[in-house]
Amino acid sequence: MKMERLLIASSLLLMANHASAHHNWSALYDVESDIEIEGVISSIQWRNPHVRVSFTVDEGTADEMVYTTESNSVASLTRMNVTEDLLAVGTRVRVAGYRSRSRDDDIFMNHLLLPDNREVIFLRTAEPRWPDATRVGNTDRLHGRVVEEEFANRPTSIFSVWTTVYGGEGSHQALRFPGGQFSIDYRTERGSGGCASKDLWSQMGAPYPIQLIDNGDIVVIHAEEFDTVREVHMGIPHEDPGTHTNNLGYSTGRMDGDRLLVTTTFEGSDSPIQFYETFQLSADHNRLLYTATLVDPESNLAPTVASKWWQYQPGAFVQPFDCSP
């Protein structure tokens, strides 16, 4: 009965609502609330995983108050054409967003109105707040509206840059693997605090671009989140040397026609977990199709299987993650 409950819990996790946010903001902020302030920018931290900006309200008076705000990731904002140079310390602005559930001086920032009447929109799902303002914040890349119309200009193999489509069924929020029963105590951590990388299967489900690079004997899988660079040793038997001690494990691969097959193990962290992946170009050359299977051969747990896809977008790129806890 206990094992049956465990399998049911895994299934429920796999079927979790794909429409949920990348982070559960409702735990920290009241997403049904609305607060607007006017103040002067006093500090800017433009880093992943989330930008932070502070504002001083009623400066020099008895009512002076400093608000801290948190907002979207630099990774997403860059692709919305929202960049740090839009803001400057000392600028008087109006800010709107969600109230913190625990603090009066904390806001999740969705909108910022500059003195020249430009409205910076930080959240991809937010509509303009000030109707007379000029909008800054384009969501075309995030929502998959940047496409290569000419088939001849699309990739001819899996080796390209590929982009998650937010809100796209089977793309954003597609990989849902169970946690506890497949957890690994890695000997070497990659990052710390809010910059600690996740299990590999969760890392491959991150919402930021990835790039596949063919270096002959080594295929590189470069995922932007946490600057994840995986090396897949091609065309050799899978004999894990036990020297790879972080969440990336040891990977080997082979080509099966136009499909890349990858096997990853984690003997360097004394884990029996096995991770199997496939990467394949779609028939229209517009998507990278991906499957992943998670196996614990030392347990009675059924293998966990999931899939997702990325889109080809002309001009897409993978950039340094530059994370700060």
What pTM value is reported for the model? 0.89
**pLDDT, one tens digit for every residue, the chain (325 residues):** 333 333 333 333 333 333 333 456 779 999 999 999 999 999 999 999 999 999 999 999 999 999 999 999 999 999 999 999 999 999 999 999 999 999 999 999 999 999 999 999 999 999 999 999 999 999 999 999 999 999 999 999 999 999 999 999 999 987 877 767 788 999 999 999 889 998 999 999 999 999 999 999 999 999 999 999 999 999 999 999 999 999 999 999 999 999 999 999 999 999 999 999 999 999 999 999 999 999 999 988 889 999 999 999 999 999 999 999 8
End of a domain among 136, 165, 192?
136
Per the structure, the count of domains in the chain is: 2
Helix (H, G, I), strand (E, B) or coil at 297: coil
Same structural domain for residues 55 and 132?
yes
pLDDT for 17 equals 34
Give domain status of residue 38, yes or no: yes
Domain that holds residue 73: 25-136
| DSSP string computed for 13-59 | HHT--TTS-SS-GGGTEEEEEEEEEEEEEEEEE--BS--EEEEEEST
Give domain status of residue 170, yes or no: yes
Same structural domain for residues 201 and 83?
no
CB 185 within 8 A of CB 233: no
pLDDT for 300 equals 85
Distance from C-alpha of 114 to C-alpha of 109, rounded to nearest angstrom: 14
Same structural domain for residues 151 and 237?
yes
CB 19 within 8 A of CB 166: no
pLDDT for 179 equals 66
Return left, alpha or beta for 132; rule: phi > 0 is left, psi -120 to 50 is alpha, else beta: alpha
Helices of type H across the chain: 2-14, 74-79, 200-203
pLDDT for 6 equals 36
